[in-house]
Amino acid sequence: MTTKKDLQTLVMMASRENNISSILFRNAVRNKVGLNITDSECLSFLGIKGVLTPKDISHYTGLTTGSTTAMLDRLENAEFIRRKPNPDDRRGALIEIHEKWVETSRPLVAGLQKEQAELIASYSDTELEIIADFLTRFTNNVKKHTQMIEDGLI
């Protein structure tokens, strides 16, 4: 009983440590490269979401549209992102990562990515299914509550 409870606490704490560690890693990278925290977050979002509109980016980062424009100017100037015309809406733009950012960040992140891939490869299919299931459900809860806060339901 106490064992099971401890195990549950362990997973909860491991999950929080995991999130914090990813932030600390990003901070280490950005300090090395000389990026501020929002610019770095923006590149992270683009890295996982792919192409985004400035509107999306201002939503994700919590910046105003004015700040987002200024940030995209900085990142475009550094050749870390690229503005493309949005074929579906001529008012807007589409933002994508520039190859130069991939090249700049690669030496700092490639080693970790390789080790994480090896770690994952060391688990059986059954285990991976459990892990993927857990992460997905956990993330879905987070997304749901994020939406609730944004909608003013909390």
CA of residue 61 relative to chain centroid, distance: 11
The two tokens of residue 29 are 């990278």
Phi then psi for 55, rounded to 5 degrees?
-60, -50
Q: DSSP states of 98-121 as a string? A: -HHHHHHHHHHHHHHHHHHHHHHH
Sign of CA dihedral 110, 100, 97, 142: positive
Is residue 55 a contact residue for DNA (CB under 7 A)? yes
Stretch that binds DNA, among 14-22, 50-58, 98-106, 117-125 (CB under 7 A): 50-58
Task: Determine, following the binding rule CB under 8 A, whether residue 1 of this chain makes contact with a second copy.
Answer: no
Asked if 38 touches DNA (CB under 7 A), the answer is: yes
Task: List residues binding DNA (CB under 7 A).
Answer: 36, 38-39, 53-55, 62-74, 83, 86, 89-93
Task: List residues binding a second copy (CB under 8 A).
Answer: 3-4, 7-8, 10-12, 14-25, 27-32, 37-38, 41, 44-45, 48, 60-62, 107-108, 111-112, 115-117, 119-121, 123, 125, 127-132, 134-139, 141-143, 145-146, 148-150, 154
